[in-house]
Amino acid sequence: MKTVIQIENLSKQYIIKHEGQNHGTLRDAITDTFKGMLKSKEAKSKRNESFWALKDINFDIKQGDLVGLIGHNGAGKSTLLKIISRITEPTTGSIKIKGRVASLLEVGTGFHGELTGRENIFLNGTILGMSRAEIRRKLDEIVAFSEIEKFLDTPVKRYSSGMYVRLAFAVAAHLEPEILILDEVLAVGDMEFQKKCLGKMEDVSKNEGRTVLFVSHNMGYIKKLCNKGVLLKKGQVHMVGDINHSVAEYLRPASKDTSNISFNKNDYGLLHCEMFAAEGAGAPTKEVFGDQKTGFRFMIRLSERMRGKIGLGGRLVDAAGNVIGSNFSDYYNAQFSVSNDEITEIELINDGLYLGPGRYIFYPELWCNGEHIRTKVEPVYFEVMVADIFGKGYSSFQNEGPILWDATWQQVKSKALAD
């Protein structure tokens, strides 16, 4: 496949201006102006600060690639998309693009508020270099996909944000750009429309050979749609490659040494939580196999004021941020014997939990007499490796969901035919 986007040594710098304090009176304003005339150039320059949103970006995108651009807030994703979309220019470096680009970066991008939905469709098509006849042939598809036929001749300034997104995506996807760029904007739409959009993006890439560059914080969507990942960290490319590896790196927590845990003598509440291998002498771990018996170890210290009934537990979250399970001591009426001012260890052992391969997070909680205590303790990040859970030679459940369960299958006489 040919290269459609080539980025070389691209950087973007912004100048942040620090304004002086507000003037309370005319005398203050005149005084500050006079002082400014006497200041040196060096002193004046201190009021401006440079900030590199992107620094030395290098990567290529091939025709037909479904690329997930991922990174935490402030990583530089939106800035990079604006440069690719020709909304802003890079400070240094170059970017070469082959083909027409349609971008949907935020609600209302590319639309004129005073024009109707119909007029905006023709306007966007014209900007992409299409003739009126070409746009007219696509009009019915766009209207059907966006589901706003009743409002097609209404000025878009009267549209809700959801209607805006429906029409904007339909226009961007159906007017045949070679490169389609989408930021987090799809989060505005409802769930059914989001699924519809994901299906359309997959279709234009696989069946029409168009390139899609997609930004989202929903790792479930990213993994489902994309085949390639570009991970940005602090304005630089941290990783380019397979989407599963890129997402795993994005979700990886900052490395911390928990081998020698120390607690401040003044700390009370939930101090620490870790995963351990129940069949490995209780050793702390962050990687387990799907068929491995594991548990979570809580370390707590209670003060005199926390005397009373305490509860422990937590919620299990998958890589897409969905809560997939929970376990709390209240479910079992569990009682704990805890001495005040001493560190107590309590273990939760998972007797029947089978997880599919992937990354997971456990958010631990402690409460006393109904009051949550120090629940901001670090969550537990861990990886579940592929395993032959049922001993049948099935060693991969990559696409079968996060939870697997043991069950009994049996054939019974149909009650529907009994009569």
Give tens-digit pLDDT for 331-383: 888 888 888 888 899 999 887 678 887 788 999 999 887 676 665 678 898 88
Question: How far is Cα 171 from Cα 194, in angstroms, rounded to an integer?
Answer: 15
Distances (CA, A) of 12 to 5, 17, 56, 125, 234: 17, 16, 9, 30, 12
> With a cut of 70, which residues of the chain have pLDDT below it?
17-48, 106-110, 185-191, 220, 251-261, 280-281, 352, 370, 372-376, 387-401, 406, 416-419
pLDDT of the residue at 78: 87
Residue carrying structure tokens 């291998």: 277
**CATH 3.40.50.300 placement within the chain:** 3-18+47-251
- For the domain covering 3-18+47-251, report its CATH number: 3.40.50.300
pLDDT of the residue at 166: 83
The vertex-89 CA angle with 87 and 94, nearest 5°, equals 125
Q: What are residue 211's phi and psi, to 5 degrees?
A: -100, 135
pLDDT of the residue at 230: 94
Query: Under 8 Å CB-to-CB from 149, ≥6 apart: which residues?
Result: 143
Question: How far is Cα 113 from Cα 155, in angstroms, rounded to an integer?
Answer: 6
pLDDT of the residue at 402: 76
Residue pair 129/43 in contact (Cβ under 8 Å)? The answer is no
Burial of 337 (0-12, 13-18, 19+ CB in 10 A): exposed
H helices of 265-377, where? none
pLDDT tens figures, 202-241: 888 888 888 989 888 777 678 778 889 999 998 999 999 9
User: Model-level pTM?
Assistant: 0.57
**CATH 2.70.50.60 placement within the chain:** 269-404
Secondary-structure class of domain 269-404 per CATH: mainly beta
Residue pair 77/215 in contact (Cβ under 8 Å)? The answer is yes
Could you list the beta-strand ranges (E) of 108-245.
Answer: 179-182, 211-215, 228-233, 236-242
